Structure 1
Amino acid sequence: MAATQAERAAPSADVDAGLSAAQAARHLAEDGPNALPGGQRRTLLSIAVETVREPMFLLLLAAGTLYMVFGDLQEGLTLFGFVLVTVALTLYQEGKTERAIEALRDLTSPRALVIRDGRPQRIAGRDVVRGDLLKLSEGDRVAADALLVTADGLRADESLLTGEAVPVGKRVARPDELAAAAKLADSARVAPGGDDMPGVYAGTLIVQGHALARVTATGARSEIGRIGTALGTVENERSPLQKQTARLVRNLALLALALSLALVLVHGLVKGDWLQALLAGIALAMAMLPEEYPVVLTVFPALGARRLSKEGVLTRRINAIETLGATTVLCSDKTGTLTSNRMTVTHLAAGGVELAERLALDAVPEGRLPEAFHGLVEVAILASVVDPFDPMEKAFHQLGERFLADTEHLHGDWRLVQTYALTPELRAMSHVWAAARDGAQTVAAKGAPEAVMDLCHLDETQKARIAGVVDELAAEGLRVLAVARGSFAGPDWPASEHDFDFAFVGLLGLADPVRPQVPAAVAECRAAGIRVVMITGDYPATARAIAQQAGLATGDGDVLTGDEIATLTDEDLRERLATVSLCARIAPEQKLRIVQALKARGDIVAMTGDGVNDAPALRAAHVGVAMGGRGTDVARESASLVLIDDDFAAIVAAVRLGRRIFDNLRKAMSYILAVHVPIAGMAMLPVLFGWPALLYPMHIALLELIIDPACSIAFENEPAESDVMQRPPRDAAAPLFGGATLWLALVQGLGVLAAVMGAFAWASPRIPEPEARAFAFATLVMGNLALILSNRSAKRSLWATLRTPNRTLWVVVGLAFALLLAALYVPWAVGVLRFAPLPLHELAAACGLGLLSVLWFEGIKWVRRRGNP
């Protein structure tokens, strides 16, 4: 199987060993990553340009220009200084978000299975290089253009490049074709399309068979690169939450514009000072414009996705994060998700249709397998994939290594000449072998017991006897497969396995233990009001045994089979799924009906899957979860989330984190709305009352230095509530700002506004105007900090939240207080901000008033705790 390679392509690589790590690194340096233009990371300059185009910054620039042209140069420069500081903070936050998104983009890029240094390795598609050996199987998305070195019944869907939907067959490349490709000769280029061609192409899909392929072109040099198609672009469709928030911001912006114009007219006409009128109008617009909302909606999902990646869950569609907390039904695969996916053959039943010989392997010494079972193990190995990657296929080879040490010697000159792959219609695979020494041929079949029994043309009595043994093994939680040996007469290969003359050989039972953490994860889902439904292709008895080990309820009415689904109408299926916790003997295409039926019932559905046929169900589910370890590329591309190690507990961790993210997002949104109420009131009410101006644009810019990091960083880092997985899922249709939440935020803001206006009303007759303004501003800042602390939890007391760790929040609070002290006592800042230094007793009074402004909310929390401990 060795292929000729030019020195530049693969100096010492061969088919078995692939490239070495050093060779791969050199080729990556020469050719660059296997990626196409598009989806590039934003630069700091582009972020800065986007930032200064936001309405808040345009208003700041306008106010600064007015000060510099008509007012005080120092005040104008100060405002421009605030612009620079705010832009710097925004660049830091956006840069952090962009780095998180970039890291996720790398993690969730298409994966490829290559042979390097003699062993299979799964790497990011962008790291595939010229000369790599790709291992391709059904369901894989080809990572780069390549020529086939070996092929076993390979067919590919190349419609992405050719527009032809019919898959095309592939053959092994000739030595001269491999040599020409290695020399990068243009004559070696073979256009996609057409049967019996040796090339596979980046972006196309393997729909059948297995192969090894030598990479000939990557990135822009591939066929898809020549066409100029960009893959993997970031989805820009806005989520329901983003749309809802955009409507809120738009409505508030229109209201701010109307009130600001009215304020300018009233102030200008009454006092005749149009410059101050314009500044008051700008201040009111800045105060009312909640420009933090878009920032929060970018930062929270991006950083949340980064947190999910640390839990072993990759986010392909970032909008799915907001749906996680609303999930009501979690449909999970069995193998590899609930179980460990470490298959081991533990039981054998041999002796043909009589199955007279039974054996449990746990007590059998290595190499001491009774003679009666040799044929069964030998046929099972011959019916398996020659170089397996799937754990179940590996289990049969490990069985031979343990008990049949001479198998390799016996079959050393045998050659695999024909493969009949497993299909949805026939759940069995067959291999035809020929011996070089005498031309003798044998056929080995392995698959679901009912499929193998059909191949053997057994009568009903024989089938019933075998089915009884299958049920016995399945009741112990074993996955049961049957094997048969066949022969045929005639010079041509039969078109179908049904044309062979098969003899039933026996059964093998495979154990795959439940992951240790699964029962606790299932119990956690139950406490959180999430129903777990196990979906498997196994026999009901096997599935029931595993489900019981996993902690799922499995009463008689809780099990639904694929045969039963085939007889049910959509309405009947919806009714049956109301009580089902286990679906057994399910064909992959039936998953889509299950998802659609659950959605029709009003459930929010998360669905796991790994195969090509799972893709429609993954796409249809509210949250599709693909397997990162054993899943196909098609499944991963169809899913919203990808499990790195296929662990069910990681899904539950993702739901827990999704609920935390949504909780913290709601806290941040409520805080933003609440804090803008007193700021807007301080900009508008003094004009209506005939008081001196309390807030100027520079004051609001200073407040933004507190508000931005508080809402986008401090709240994002807030730990999950203790009851996050002890409450039912939230209503996915309910708005983020429900009536109660909206009114509570407004009342919180009004409480702070009352404290601030009361402070100024008390102070203005008694102390000079700059000092009274400083007193009111200090009260506002402390009320702002009180809002942050109080909104950390809707139930826990302020004292309890103070003892809850959140280092980022305390950094924000500390910096905010330091900023307040600088504004009150640094001479330059005092002059620019039109303040006067406060005596310590007035500062203490302002701090007390600010904190007291939200104490009533603590009373509401106490009532909530009493009503719902």
Structure 2
Amino acid sequence: MSEPDAVAAHAGLASSEAARRLAADGPNTLPDARPHGWRTILAGVAREPMFVLLLGAALLYLALGEARESIFLAAMVVLTLGLTLYQEGRTERALQALRDLGAPAATVIRDGARMRVPATDLVAGELLVLAEGDRVPADAFLVEAGAMLVDESLLTGESVPVGKRYGEDAGDRPAPGGNDVSWVFAGTLVVQGDGMARIHATGARTELGRIGTALARIRPPEGALQRQTRVLARRMAVLGFAVSGALVALLVLRGGGWLQALLAGLALSMSVLPEEFPVILTVFPAIGAWRLARSRVLTRRLAAIEILGSTSVLCVDKTGTLTENRMALQALWRDGVRHDLARQPLLPDDLRELLDVAVLASKPHSPDPMEQAQRHAASAQPARPVRAGAPLHEYGLIPGRPALIRIWSRADGPMAAAKGAPETIIGLCRDAADGRALRAAAAMAQEGLRVLGVAVADHVAPPWPDDPAQLSFRLLGLVGLADPLRADIPDAVAACRAAGVRVLMITGDHPETARAIARQAGLADGAVLTGVDIAGLDPAALTDRLARTSVCARTVPTQKLDIVRALQCSGQVVAMTGDGVNDAPALRAADVGVAMGARGTDVAREAAELTLLDDRFGALVPALAAGRRIFSNMRKAMAYVTSIHVPIAVLALLPPLLGWPILLDPVHIVFLQLLIDPACSIAFESEQADPDLMRKPPRPRDAPLFGRRAIAAALLRGLWAALLLAGCYGWALASLPEDEARATAFCALILCNLGLLLASRERGGPLAALRVPNPLLAAVGIGGVLLLALSLTVPGLAALLRMAAPPPAWLAVAGLTAVVMLAGVQAVQRRVS
């Protein structure tokens, strides 16, 4: 049944009626077990150690009769909640944007025409169009089906697909798992055939929705990154509380008051807790994924962000990825004579027969660009009498026979039309043994053409044989189709090579066709490995051959998995592109699976970490750069957090141990957090990529996010700053009143904090980093200086922090302390580099 006939026989909904039903029934989504409302976010914040410490400090100040300090800390509690809501909301908005982009789409009949709509917008009564590779989006009753098989293992646990047929009356919805029934269910997968179905239930009303409702109360397990950061936070919390407890005990034994000792202990605990780490590890990938989405690259799993930066091999399809997937018939060959359509658009009768048989050997209404190109070329020729009737039988493509053969009724008896790989079609024909056709196919393939052989078998009769080779085919000739290389491919491939990322083309095309496209794309010179070669190699031998290969040709989709595993065995980090159902295992096995958004199946998109929304390979290059940038910025932020916590902890612990006046109370720690939090979560996230980021080789597979060397460097910077700050405070105490000495040391700490911000940018040292603009980082620095000026000049704020403005000379000492700290860091970084 043609598409117009199908639409006429099964009318779809009007858009207005679909909108009305959507408003009444709600979206076609499953219950969400993870609410993300503000109450949930606040409940999570209330369980954080830093929140508990702030609240405890506020209560202690109240018990001491220090109402002003207590109110200030209570205000900081509210501010912390507000900042957390904003930060979590920003992250959730980015994630929701990704979820919206990644929502599966469905083909429906609306207003009498086919259209793609988000699966969430489907409603009961909708007419749904299903094809091989589609994930069924709702429970529906089939009104049309052709040789349809559906994998219902998601609902039944049975791995064998079940057959489907269309019915006349929907009746009662049966349980999933029945064979030869007329119902399809949400979440199941069409593995063969196509059809149309009338939607019966959506969302929570589907069979899958009932399971989802039961599972909604089950909390999903934490990911590995969440577990690691939670363990780290707990260990640091235990360390901070233990050291703080020891400090409290020491101060009490020395004769100090309990409440003052508790305040000193709380300040030390707050200084030790690295509460920014979970923020960095959550916000950076989420915002980075949102940035990638603006480049038409959808990140379905945030874990892929950190893997992107270490990708060393990109395995890519040719058709539609390197090329435009816009086929046009360019040449035909028959009986030793080649015909170029560009010079002679009209075909003589013998070549017209060749083209007609090629069209008959194609699937009707196929989205395959090659088959569309043949149909378009045939329609451009003068009309001819219809010689074929209805299709009678079909031999589909199988791994050992890359050819499509369709048998048609005809007035003088059935005929078989065959089209496929030239060597396969020629092998079916007994009259093509002189080798001319193979030589012609090779010559056309060397020009970069996609070459298909075409054959016909006249007067065939049922019963149809199991093997079409038993039919008496005669070779009609060859058709050559051109799929031009995308304009941005050579530059994209060159950028990958400069970044140390190898590009490996994997295609089902003829080796010479693949080699021609590889030359145009600028792929590294290497051997061409065919699917037949791969089938005859053991894993070790395949690993060895791939090291010298730039093109894999005449491969079948299942061999992609062998290629991925072989590359991984040699230590490579592999990104693999794919679009079909059979690509899903390779996409899942690859370190980063990349699905095609425009032509890819739902199964491929679900198996992949990334989706190219416009199928462009060129979009992978900025994705690689973004992955490296995100990883680099996360490390810079973690280095800064580690380094700044060292002087804060030292200045919270050392004065009580030495018998000096306490320098940092909880109010001072909160003041510092107002600078540290936006610096690590916003300013570093917006940091520009290092100029040579895409000229370096990818980092090793097992490289940690924050390794021992980076930790040691950050700790040394922090210790150097702590040493200078302790000296500054001791010197000020010997010469100034307590409040002025505290103000001097606190000014030096704020300025050293800004210096550590610059040092953590890792651009040849702090001074070199000043030449690279970062507006958000500059805003943090200016804001810190303004807050410091207010704390010294506003009487109420100065009294709250127990500070008094020191003489100008001692402000210069505070600035000199930061300068000496920066000079030391600059000298060390210059020596190391």
Scaled to the shorter chain, the TM-score interval is over 0.9
Please list, as runs of the form range in 1=range in 2, the aligned pairs for 1:511-522 lying within 5 A after superposition.
511-522=482-493
Tell me the amino acid that sits aligned with residue 48 of structure 1. Answer: L
Alpha carbons 1:357, 1:372 under 8 Å: kept: no
CA distance in 2, matches of 1:637, 1:835: 59
User: Residue 223 of structure 2 aligns with which residue?
Assistant: 238
Alignment TM-score, normalising by the size of structure 1: 0.90
The equivalent position to 1:406 in structure 2, one of 368, 380, 383, is: 383
CA distance in 1, matches of 2:59, 2:797: 19
Shift of 1:237: 5.0
Alpha carbons 1:573, 1:597 under 8 Å: kept: yes
More divergent stretch after superposition (43-52 vs 728-737): 728-737
CA distance in 1, matches of 2:797, 2:538: 74
Shift of 1:545: 0.5
Shift of 1:848: 4.2
Structure 2 unaligned spans of 5+: none
User: Residue 476 of structure 2 aligns with which residue?
Assistant: 505
The equivalent position to 1:140 in structure 2, one of 122, 134, 145, is: 134
Shift of 1:115: 4.1
Q: Does 1:560 align with 2:560?
A: no
Structure 1 unaligned spans of 5+: 4-11, 182-186
Alpha carbons 2:413, 2:460 under 8 Å: kept: no
Shift of 1:601: 0.8
User: Residue 813 of structure 1 aligns with which residue?
Assistant: 781
User: Residue 6 of structure 1 aligns with which residue?
Assistant: none
The 1:135/1:497 distance shift into structure 2, 3 A limit, reads farther
CA distance in 2, matches of 1:316, 1:838: 55
Alpha carbons 1:751, 1:854 under 8 Å: kept: no
Alpha carbons 1:2, 1:15 under 8 Å: kept: no
User: Residue 162 of structure 1 aligns with which residue?
Assistant: 156
CA distance in 2, matches of 1:118, 1:400: 27
CA distance in 2, matches of 1:63, 1:324: 43
Alpha carbons 2:145, 2:195 under 8 Å: kept: yes
Tell me the amino acid that sits aligned with residue 223 of structure 2. Answer: R
Shift of 1:447: 1.8
Q: Residue 666 of structure 1: SS of its match in structure 2?
A: helix
Alpha carbons 1:107, 1:124 under 8 Å: kept: no
Please list, as runs of the form range in 1=range in 2, the aligned pairs for 1:104-183 lying within 5 A after superposition.
104-117=98-111, 120-174=114-168, 177=169, 181=170
CA distance in 1, matches of 2:25, 2:643: 54
The equivalent position to 1:358 in structure 2, one of 328, 338, 348, is: 338
More divergent stretch after superposition (586-595 vs 35-44): 35-44
The equivalent position to 1:740 in structure 2, one of 697, 702, 709, is: 709
Alpha carbons 1:147, 1:213 under 8 Å: kept: yes
Alpha carbons 1:128, 1:218 under 8 Å: kept: yes
Tell me the amino acid that sits aligned with residue 332 of structure 1. Answer: V
Shift of 1:726: 0.5
Q: 1:379-433: per-residue Cα shift (whole Å, max 9, x none)?
A: 1112222112232222122112222x426x626x933344433222322223333
Shift of 1:529: 1.1
Tell me the amino acid that sits aligned with residue 451 of structure 1. Answer: T
The 1:306/1:854 distance shift into structure 2, 3 A limit, reads same
The 1:452/1:221 distance shift into structure 2, 3 A limit, reads farther
Alpha carbons 1:148, 1:212 under 8 Å: kept: yes
Alignment TM-score, normalising by the size of structure 2: 0.94
Q: Residue 362 of structure 1: SS of its match in structure 2?
A: coil
Tell me the amino acid that sits aligned with residue 350 of structure 2. Answer: A
Tell me the C-alpha RMSD between the 2 structures: 2.7
The equivalent position to 1:211 in structure 2, one of 170, 189, 195, is: 195
Q: Does 1:382 align with 2:368?
A: no
CA distance in 1, matches of 2:368, 2:676: 53
Shift of 1:133: 3.6
Tell me the amino acid that sits aligned with residue 658 of structure 2. Answer: F
Shift of 1:460: 7.5
The 1:166/1:270 distance shift into structure 2, 3 A limit, reads same
Q: 1:304-324: per-residue Cα shift (whole Å, max 9, x none)?
A: 111111122111111111011
Shift of 1:700: 0.6
User: Residue 795 of structure 1 aligns with which residue?
Assistant: 763
User: Residue 502 of structure 2 aligns with which residue?
Assistant: 531
Please list, as runs of the form range in 1=range in 2, the aligned pairs for 1:404-803 lying within 5 A after superposition.
405-406=382-383, 410=386, 414-434=389-409, 441-454=414-427, 456-458=428-430, 461-462=433-434, 464-487=435-458, 489-490=460-461, 492=463, 494-495=465-466, 497-498=468-469, 500-555=471-526, 558-792=527-761, 794-803=762-771
Alpha carbons 2:655, 2:663 under 8 Å: kept: yes
CA distance in 2, matches of 1:459, 1:534: 35
Alpha carbons 1:664, 1:715 under 8 Å: kept: yes
CA distance in 2, matches of 1:592, 1:290: 42
CA distance in 1, matches of 2:213, 2:624: 35
Q: Residue 129 of structure 2: SS of its match in structure 1?
A: strand
Percent same amino acid among aligned pairs?
51
CA distance in 2, matches of 1:165, 1:387: 30
The equivalent position to 1:827 in structure 2, one of 787, 795, 803, is: 795
Alpha carbons 2:416, 2:460 under 8 Å: kept: no
Shift of 1:495: 4.8
User: Residue 35 of structure 1 aligns with which residue?
Assistant: 29
CA distance in 2, matches of 1:514, 1:569: 33
CA distance in 2, matches of 1:363, 1:19: 48
User: Residue 274 of structure 1 aligns with which residue?
Assistant: 258
Shift of 1:95: 0.8
Tell me the amino acid that sits aligned with residue 430 of structure 2. Answer: L
Tell me the amino acid that sits aligned with residue 308 of structure 1. Answer: L
The 1:396/1:838 distance shift into structure 2, 3 A limit, reads farther
CA distance in 1, matches of 2:472, 2:732: 102
The equivalent position to 1:49 in structure 2, one of 22, 43, 46, is: 43
Q: Residue 603 of structure 1: SS of its match in structure 2?
A: coil
The 1:418/1:131 distance shift into structure 2, 3 A limit, reads farther
Instruction: Count the aligned residue pairs.
Output: 831
More divergent stretch after superposition (641-650 vs 210-219): 210-219
CA distance in 1, matches of 2:460, 2:214: 52
User: Residue 256 of structure 1 aligns with which residue?
Assistant: 240
The 1:442/1:24 distance shift into structure 2, 3 A limit, reads farther
User: Residue 289 of structure 1 aligns with which residue?
Assistant: 273
Tell me the amino acid that sits aligned with residue 399 of structure 1. Answer: A
CA distance in 1, matches of 2:143, 2:423: 36
Alpha carbons 1:627, 1:646 under 8 Å: kept: yes
The 1:490/1:537 distance shift into structure 2, 3 A limit, reads closer
Q: Residue 410 of structure 1: SS of its match in structure 2?
A: coil
Shift of 1:229: 6.5
Shift of 1:19: 4.1
The equivalent position to 2:63 in structure 1, one of 69, 72, 75, is: 69
Q: Does 1:396 align with 2:380?
A: no
Alpha carbons 1:477, 1:511 under 8 Å: kept: yes
Tell me the amino acid that sits aligned with residue 433 of structure 2. Answer: T
Q: Residue 692 of structure 1: SS of its match in structure 2?
A: coil
Q: 1:359-394: per-residue Cα shift (whole Å, max 9, x none)?
A: 1111223xx222221111111112222112232222
